[in-house]
Amino acid sequence: MHRDEIPTPALLLDLDRFERNLTRMAAHVRAAGKNLRPHAKTHRCPEIASRQVAAGALGVACAKLGEAEVMARAGLRGLLITTEVVAPSAVRRLTRLAGEAPDTMVVVDHPDNVRALARAAAEDGVTLDVLVDVHVGARRTGTEPGDPALALGRLVAEQRGLRLRGLQGYAGHCAHVMGWAARRDTSHKAMAPLMETRARFEAAGLPVEIVAGGSTGTYNIDLELAGLTELQAGSYCVMDLDYRRIGGRAGDAMTDFEMAITVVATVVSVAADRAMVDAGLKAFSTDKPFPPEAVERPGVDYGFAGDEHGRLTLTDPSRAPKLGERIEFFPPHCDPTFNLYDRVHVVRGTTVDAVWEIAARGRSD
C-alpha cells in the first residue's frame, strides 16, 4: 500500500526514525554498562516490544497487568509490572501469568499486598518475583525510602512464594522538567533516597540485583547513578511534542531521539478562513495544554473542533489547504495517542511496510 492510501485518521510510525531511536538508546545504555527494560505503556504493541528486545532490552516494563498479559501471550518475557497489583481477582491473574511467564516481576509498596501475593503464590504453586517500589517524590506509589522500604524488603524476603529481586523508584515528576541542567539537578535529588535505600538493602544482605527507574527525559541523567541497574524509559522509541520541548543536553529542543509517530488526517471541508480535517478528540491525546502540530506543512494551526474534527486556522492564506489534502501531525503525547488506535501503520518513505496491532490497547485492567 502507498502511504497516501491509508484510511484516515490513522497512526503512522516512521520505521527509519524508530529504528534509529532503538539503536541510539541501546548504544547509550550499553556504554553506561546498564540494562534497558523499556516501558511498553508508551505503545502497548507487542511487535514494538519485540523489536526493543531484539535491540538488546532485557524485556519490557508494563504499567498494568492487562498489558503484561498481552505481552506474555505474544511471547515476550522479562516483564516488569510497574504498578501494584492489589485486587484479589487481579492477584489471581498475576499468579496465572507467572505460571506462563515465570520471570515476570511485580512491584509492592504495602505489607498487606505482600502477604496477599505470598498467599496466592503459595496456593497456586508459583513463585512471584518482586521489587520494592520506593517513593521518590512523584507522590504516586511507593513505600517511603529508608526504614519503611527496608522493613518491606525483609517481609518480602521472608515469604516462601515470593522472591525479592531489588528496588524500583520512578521519579515521574522529573521527566519533563524544562532544561537539561535543571532536570539533572531535580532527578539526582529525587533519586538520592533510592540510592540510600539500596545501600541499606545491601548492608542488610537483601538482594539488589535490580534497581530500576528513569524515563526518556532523564535517560542520560539517571544512568549516572552507580546504584541504578536498569532504565525503564518508554517514549524514546517514538517521541512526542511534550518530550521535544523539554530541551536536551545540547539545546532548547530534545533531539536525542526522533519524532517517529504522526497522525495522518484528510481535509474534509474548506472555507475562506479555515479548513477542517477528519481528526479530532478521538484521534489525538488531549491531556496537554498545546495542540498537535502539522508536520512540514506551514500555513496552518491545528485546533480541536470536536470528537471527529480538527480546525485548521490559516496563518498563511497563500497556503490554504485543498479539499482532500492529507496532512500529518505530531501528537502532543504518545502514550494516550497510541491507546486510541487498534493498529499502527508502519511506513518507510512512501510505502506501508507493515501494520502492527496495538494489541494491549485499552488493557488498563
Ligand X SMILES: Cc1ncc(COP(=O)(O)O)c(C=O)c1O
Which residues of the chain form contacts with ligand X (CB under 6 A)?
A: 39, 42, 63, 82, 170, 172, 175, 215-216, 232-235
For residues 49 and 314, which CB has a smaller minimum distance to ligand X in the complex?
49
For residues 159 and 216, which CB has a smaller minimum distance to ligand X in the complex?
216
Shortest Å, Cβ 303 to ligand X: 26
For residues 18 and 265, which CB has a smaller minimum distance to ligand X in the complex?
18
The 10 Å Cβ neighbour count of residue 55 is 19
Shortest Å, Cβ 143 to ligand X: 15
Shortest Å, Cβ 233 to ligand X: 4
Please report which residue ranges of the chain form alpha helices under DSSP H. 15-31, 46-54, 65-73, 88-100, 111-124, 147-158, 180-203, 219-222, 241-244, 334-338
Shortest Å, Cβ 141 to ligand X: 8
Query: What does the DSSP assignment read for 146-160?
Result: THHHHHHHHHHHH-T
The 3-state DSSP class for residue 286 equals coil
Any residues with CB less than 8 A from the CB of 39 and at least 6 apart, and which?
60, 61, 62, 63, 82, 232, 233, 234
List for the chain the helix, strand, coil content (%; round to 5).
35, 25, 45
Shortest Å, Cβ 266 to ligand X: 29
Q: How far apart are CA 347 and CA 295, in angstroms?
A: 15
For residues 255 and 313, which CB has a smaller minimum distance to ligand X in the complex?
255
Strand partners, 81: 62, 106
Shortest Å, Cβ 9 to ligand X: 23
Q: Are strands 10-14 and 128-133 parallel, antiparallel or unpaired?
A: unpaired
Shortest Å, Cβ 126 to ligand X: 24
Shortest Å, Cβ 309 to ligand X: 29
For residues 84 and 124, which CB has a smaller minimum distance to ligand X in the complex?
84
Q: How far apart are CA 4 and CA 6, in angstroms?
A: 6
Q: Are strands 128-133 and 105-108 parallel, antiparallel or unpaired?
A: parallel
For residues 171 and 277, which CB has a smaller minimum distance to ligand X in the complex?
171
- The candidate with the shortest Cα–Cα distance to 63, out of 156, 175, 141, is 141
Are residues 241 and 293 in contact, defined by beta-carbon separation less than 8 angstroms?
Answer: yes
Q: How far is CA 53 from the centre of its chain?
A: 15
Residue appearing with cell numbers 539488589: 208
For residues 84 and 308, which CB has a smaller minimum distance to ligand X in the complex?
84
For residues 8 and 220, which CB has a smaller minimum distance to ligand X in the complex?
220
Shortest Å, Cβ 256 to ligand X: 12
Supply 67's cell numbers. Answer: 498489558
For residues 128 and 233, which CB has a smaller minimum distance to ligand X in the complex?
233
- The candidate with the shortest Cα–Cα distance to 265, out of 9, 7, 5, is 9
Q: How far apart are CA 148 and CA 10, in angstroms?
A: 47
For residues 142 and 310, which CB has a smaller minimum distance to ligand X in the complex?
142
Shortest Å, Cβ 1 to ligand X: 30
